[in-house]
Amino acid sequence: MVDYNNYATLQKLKNANESLGISDDFSIEKNKNIIFIYTPPKVGSTTLVSSIRINACSKFTVLHLHNEVMLRVLYKIKDITVLDIIKYNKFLGKNVYVIDIYRTPIEQKISTFFENISSFHFNVPVDILNTFDINRIITRFNQVFPYLQTSDHFKTNYQIPFPDDFDFEKKYTMVIQDNIKYFKIRLKDSNEWRSILKNILGMEIFIVTDYETNKKPISGLFSQFKNSYRLPQNLFETIENDENLKYYYNETERQTYLNSWRDKINPNLFKTFTTEEYAFYTDIALDNQYISEIQHEHYIDNYGCLCNGCSRKRGLILMKVMKGEPISEKINHTEAVGEYLKQKAKSLPIVLMNKKKKQFGVMGSMY
Asked whether residue 294 is domain-assigned, the answer is no
Indicate the pLDDT class of residue 357, thresholds 50, 70 and 90: low
Which pLDDT value is given to residue 339? 75
* 5-9, 142-146, 310-314, 344-348: segment of lowest average pLDDT: 344-348
Indicate the pLDDT class of residue 366, thresholds 50, 70 and 90: very low
Which pLDDT value is given to residue 367? 31
Mind spelling out the 3-state secondary structure of 16-38?
HHHHHCCCCCCCCHHHHEEEEEE
Q: What is the pLDDT of residues 337-350, one digit of tens each?
A: 787 687 777 776 66
pLDDT above 50: residue 291: yes
Boundaries of domain holding 160: 7-288
In this structure, the answer to whether residues 268 and 337 fall within a common structural domain is: no
In this structure, the answer to whether residues 245 and 208 fall within a common structural domain is: yes
Which pLDDT value is given to residue 364? 38
Asked whether residue 302 is domain-assigned, the answer is no
Which pLDDT value is given to residue 365? 36
Among the candidates 255, 288, 321, a domain finishes at: 288
pLDDT above 60: residue 4: yes
In this structure, the answer to whether residues 248 and 346 fall within a common structural domain is: no
pLDDT above 90: residue 290: no
Asked whether residue 293 is domain-assigned, the answer is no
* Mean pLDDT of the residues in the chain: 89
In this structure, the answer to whether residues 238 and 338 fall within a common structural domain is: no
Give the span between the Cα atoms of 30 and 16, in whole angstroms: 18
Q: What is the pLDDT of residues 181-219, one digit of tens each?
A: 999 999 999 999 999 999 999 999 999 876 555 567 888
* 43-47, 60-64, 169-173, 328-332: segment of lowest average pLDDT: 328-332
- Beta strand extents in the chain (DSSP E only): 33-38, 61-65, 95-102, 172-177, 180-186, 231-232, 265-266
pLDDT above 70: residue 40: yes
Q: Is the dihedral of CA 227, 228, 230, 235 positive or negative?
A: negative
Q: How many domains does the chain have?
A: 2
pLDDT above 90: residue 257: yes
Which pLDDT value is given to residue 324? 75
In this structure, the answer to whether residues 258 and 358 fall within a common structural domain is: no
Can you tell me the mean pLDDT for 95-119? 96
In this structure, the answer to whether residues 316 and 276 fall within a common structural domain is: no
Asked whether residue 206 is domain-assigned, the answer is yes
pLDDT above 70: residue 69: yes
pLDDT above 60: residue 335: yes
Please answer whether residues 153 and 178 qualify as being in contact, where contact means their C-beta atoms are separated by less than 8 angstroms: no
Q: What is the pLDDT of residues 128-180, one digit of tens each?
A: 999 999 999 999 999 999 999 999 999 999 999 999 999 999 999 999 999 99
Residue of 306 and 361 predicted with greater confidence: 306
Asked whether residue 218 is domain-assigned, the answer is yes
DSSP, collapsed to helix, strand or coil, labels residue 65 as strand
In this structure, the answer to whether residues 313 and 278 fall within a common structural domain is: no
In this structure, the answer to whether residues 331 and 251 fall within a common structural domain is: no
Quote the pTM value.
0.85
Among the candidates 288, 317, 352, a domain finishes at: 288
Asked whether residue 296 is domain-assigned, the answer is no
In this structure, the answer to whether residues 339 and 276 fall within a common structural domain is: no
In this structure, the answer to whether residues 111 and 236 fall within a common structural domain is: yes
In this structure, the answer to whether residues 40 and 124 fall within a common structural domain is: yes
Which pLDDT value is given to residue 332? 77
In this structure, the answer to whether residues 199 and 329 fall within a common structural domain is: no
Asked whether residue 301 is domain-assigned, the answer is no
% residues pLDDT > 90 (the chain): 71
Among the candidates 254, 288, 322, a domain finishes at: 288
What secondary structure does DSSP assign to 153-197, as a single string? Answer: HHHHTS-SPPPSS--TTTTEEEEEETTEEEEEEEGGGGGGHHHHH
Which pLDDT value is given to residue 363? 38
Can you tell me the mean pLDDT for 36-60? 95
Indicate the pLDDT class of residue 36, thresholds 50, 70 and 90: very high
Asked whether residue 298 is domain-assigned, the answer is no
Which pLDDT value is given to residue 44? 94
For residue 266, report the phi and psi dihedrals to the nearest 5 degrees. Answer: -95, 115
